[in-house]
Amino acid sequence: MAILVFVALSGAGTLQTADLYLLAAVLCAAFGYTEGARLTKELGAWQTISWALLAATPLLLPWVVMAAPASFNQVGWLSWSGFAYVSVVSMYLAFCAWYRGLSLGGTARIGQLQLLQPFLTMVAGATLMGESLQPLQLATALIVVSCVMVGRKR
C-alpha cells in the first residue's frame, strides 16, 4: 500500500501503464524466486540458474539479435567487461548465494529481504552519485523497512 501511495503522489497522480508493467515484472520475479528456491533444493544452486538461463534463451534471443551491432568488433572492451561481470557475478555468484539462502531459510522469510533492495539502491545513488533523496522517498522507505522488520519477527 505504501508503494502505491508513493507512486500516486510522486507520479502523474494516477497509475500509469508503466506502473502495471512494473507490477507484472514484480509478480514474475516473485514466481521466479519461489520456483528457483524450490528447484535449488532438488538440483543445486548453480544448476538451477543454468537451467533458468537456458530456458530464457529463446525469449531473449530475438531481442539480442535486434539490438546487436552489425559486427562484434564494434563492441568495446567496457561493454564486454560489463557483460562478463553480469554473467559471472550477477548470474552465478549472486544468484547461487541467493537461491541457496532462499532454500535454507525459507522463501517467504528470506524473500522479504528483497523488499529492501530499492531503498538500498536509493541510498547508494545518493551516496555515490550525489542524487537527492526526497522526504516522500524516505518516508516510504521507512514504512516498507518497518513492515519487513515486523514481518520477520513472526
Three-state secondary-structure class, residue 134: coil
pLDDT of residue 152: 66
The pTM assigned to this predicted structure is: 0.63
Q: How far apart are CA 56 and CA 18, in angstroms?
A: 23
Q: How far apart are CA 139 and CA 137, in angstroms?
A: 6
Q: How far apart are CA 144 and CA 1, in angstroms?
A: 9
| Residues 26-36: tens digit of each pLDDT | 888 888 878 88
| Residues 98-154: tens digit of each pLDDT | 888 877 888 777 777 777 788 888 889 999 999 888 888 888 888 888 887 787 655
Q: How far apart are CA 51 and CA 38, in angstroms?
A: 13
pLDDT of residue 66: 92
pLDDT of residue 61: 93
Closest CA to 48 of 97, 86, 113: 97
